Amino acid sequence: MRIATRRAFISGAAMTAGGVNLLRAEPQDRAFAASAENKDLRKSQLFLDDTWIEESYHLERVWERADIFPEPVLRPEMPWEGHQLVMFGSVFRDASGWRMYYMTYNRPAPSLCCLAYSSDGLHWERPKLGLFAFNGSKANNIVFAPRPGQSHDGPTVCHDSADPKAPYKMMYYSYGEGVAAGEYVGFSRDGIVWEHHLEPVMVSGDRTNVMGSRDHRGKFVAYLRHRDMMRLHRARTVWRVESSDFLHWSEPEVILRADLLDDPNTELYGMSGFPYSDMYLGLLERWYDNPDVIELQLTWSHDGRDWHRPGKRSAFVGPSLPWNRRWNSAANTAPVNRGSQLWFYFGGRSEAHGSDMPPSYGAIGLASHGIDRFAAIQADFKEGLLVTRPMRWPGGDLALNCTNTRYRRAHPSSGGGSISVELRDEANHPIAGFSGTDRADVSWVSTGDRLRPVRFGQQRSMNDLAGRRVRLAIALSDARVYAFRSLG
């Protein structure tokens, strides 16, 4: 029987009964334990899964969806854009400011790749690039157009700051007259004038998203479709390839497909992925064919290969407004950090994948989300307890991303909940000076851009335990905890 009382927590008694440790002697899931050993505690450690959780009582994991800005940040307004702008593209900041690569989609006209600039991420301007003619004029922002009889799909850009000769790299699917269908790449010094590789670098399916930067190992990564996925899996699935030079790519490996937690009419249309903290996050385009809707769902990976999805399959960005009610697609790039928020750019369309008439309206939207606040460990009125796996503390203060209310949309100052932390050794025995009456009481809201150090009895810092193996025991009621890290 596992019991964790407030009295035991305050007194600093270990969770033992008759000398037997009530925590598991061996973790039931060795993969989680192995992952925890390799984590960088100076970066945010999220509670998306049980990597850090050894035991929990009276707690639940809740998922938070992004908030969609009510108006699109870029609408179809120019003749060459027709009625649909599509975020099969990229948004990021570099030394020149904000830039957005987006696609037009208005059949039977070929799709065009266009470039927009912004100084604040909200108001976007179309530069007159003078590169490609439309109706006899080059006064437009078209940065890439297919040759007559050819088409391209999903041009996405990797900003590779490590390469001064070609810091901008593009991947896209091309097909049509005179070209072999497959993935093509382009290189650019300024992101405006591109030199395109004339042969496909691989044969694949469409819906390509190259990672917007190199991964943690310095590799280029792309998420796409296998040309035989319908034969192999009878549905759209997500595949991964990698490269060291952007020209020679590995064989595709399937990383995500629908499972028994999905509706049986589900297919995985595509995915973007990006480095986040010491792991990877992704936005999965989850397609239901009844009703015919594509929404964005959060995914994550600790190593870039083994990807996970929430057990509760809710949308991170889903149909919310008339202009994105049926189809949502994500930029291939990481969200942009804006104060206490992450800004995600996505494309919304008014009509479904299988609907041609009336013509769909498409625009580029913005969704915001709190830093690190993708999933919370939440307590109700009854106090809950979370005990972590052992970790070797690297030094520095402990910081929690947390709120003292269990209501996500409550005002930050309205909460009356409580959070307290005590420290235990690897054997789960309380550490003197950091437990019992010396535990830390966290009475404030702490966000990703304003993390406050947690102090224990006599204003002690966890820096005093640098190099030791410790556990965190976090007790909370009417509160949420999203992440922890060292501020060292």
For the segment 407-429, the average pLDDT, to the nearest whole number, is: 87
Q: 4-13, 121-130, 229-238 — which one is most confidently predicted on average?
A: 121-130
Same-domain pairing of 269 and 403: no
Closest CA to 233 of 253, 252, 258: 258
pLDDT value, residue 33: 81
Contact predicate 299/255, CB 8 Å: no
123 within some domain: yes
Supply the pTM of this predicted model. Answer: 0.92
Mean of the per-residue pLDDT values for the chain?
Answer: 91
Sequence-separated contacts (24+) of 231-235 with Cβ below 8 Å: 233/257, 235/266, 235/267, 235/268
- Could you tell me if 151 and 111 lie in one domain? yes
Boundary of a domain, candidates 338, 362, 386: 362
- Residue 129 falls inside a structural domain: yes
Give the number of C-alpha atoms closer than 13 A to the C-alpha of residue 176, restricted to the C-beta side: 12
Percent of the chain with pLDDT strictly greater than 70: 93
pLDDT score at 416: 83
Number of domains in the chain: 2
With 70 as the cut, is the pLDDT of residue 267 above it?
Answer: yes
- Class of residue 215 by CB neighbours under 10 A (exposed 0-12, middle 13-18, buried 19+): middle
Model pLDDT, residue 4: 41
CA distance 30 to 53: 12
Residue 315 near residue 338 (C-beta atoms within 8 A): no
Structure tokens at 137: 């004029």
Predicted pLDDT at 178: 85
Tokens 């000398």, located at residue? 19
Q: Which pLDDT band holds residue 428 (cuts at 50, 70, 90)?
A: very high
Same domain, 79 and 158: yes
Q: Are residues 349 and 392 in the same domain?
A: no
Query: Are 153 and 59 in the same domain?
Result: no
Residue 276's DSSP bridge partners are 279
pLDDT at 13 over 90: no
Q: Span 211-237, mean pLDDT?
A: 94
Residue 323 pLDDT more than 50? yes
Per-residue pLDDT at 37? 87
Whether residue 369 is contained in a domain is answered as no
Mean pLDDT in residue range 373-380: 96
- Residues 149-159 have pLDDT tens digits of 889 998 999 99
Q: pLDDT-derived band of residue 250, with 50, 70 and 90 as boundaries?
A: very high
Look-up: residue for tokens 């819906």? Answer: 207
400 lies in a domain? yes
C-alpha–C-alpha distance, residues 75 and 86, integer Å: 10
pLDDT at 450: 87
Mean pLDDT of the 257-286 span: 96
Write out pLDDT tens, residues 183-194.
999 999 999 999
**CATH label of the domain that carries residue 403:** 2.60.120.260
Among 53-62, 219-228, 280-289, 348-357, whose mean pLDDT is lowest? 348-357
Give pLDDT, residue 5.
42
Regarding whether 50 and 122 lie in a shared domain, the answer is no
262 and 241 together in one domain = yes
In a domain, 368, yes or no: no
Closest CA to 115 of 95, 136, 85: 85
Residue (of 209, 202, 247) closest to 89 by Cα position = 209
> Is the pLDDT higher at 421 or at 357?
421
Instruction: Please say if the pLDDT value at position 7 is more than 70.
Output: no
Name the residue range of residue 380's domain: 6-64+374-486
Confidence bin at 475 (pLDDT 50/70/90): very high
Q: In this structure, is the dihedral angle defined by the CA atoms of residues 101, 103, 104 and 109, taken in order, positive or negative?
A: positive
For 391, what's the count of Cα atoms within 13 Å in the CB-facing half-sphere?
30
Q: Mean pLDDT, to the nearest integer, of 223-243?
A: 94
Q: Is residue 1 part of a domain?
A: no
186 and 149 in contact (C-beta within 8 Å)?
A: no
Q: What is the CATH number of the domain that holds 77?
A: 2.115.10.20
Is there a domain that residue 367 lies in?
A: no
Q: So what's the pLDDT on residue 413?
A: 66
Question: Residue 81 domain-assigned?
Answer: yes
Residue 231 has phi, psi (to 5 degrees) of -75, -40
Instruction: Return the pLDDT at 29.
Output: 63
User: Which whole number is the average pLDDT over 25-46?
Assistant: 80
| Same domain flag for 33 and 175 | no
Mean pLDDT of the region 118-136: 96
How far apart are alpha carbons 94 and 183 in whole angstroms? 26
pLDDT of residue 9: 52
Judged by DSSP in three states, 309 sits in coil
Claim to verify: residue 167 and residue 124 sit in the same structural domain: yes
Average pLDDT over residues 414-423: 90
- The residue out of 316, 339, 362 marking a domain boundary is 362
pLDDT at 160 > cutoff 70: yes
Same domain, 80 and 146: yes
Instruction: Look at residue 357 in the predicted model and tell me its pLDDT.
Output: 66
In angstroms, the CA 350 to CA 18 distance is: 64
Residues 316 and 378 in one domain: no
Position 386 scores a pLDDT of: 98
pLDDT computed for residue 66 by the predictor: 97
| Tokens read off for 125 | 């301007």
Q: Which of 362, 382, 415 is the last residue of a domain?
A: 362
- What's the mean pLDDT in 334-339? 93
Mean pLDDT of the region 208-221? 96
Q: Are residues 163 and 26 in the same domain?
A: no
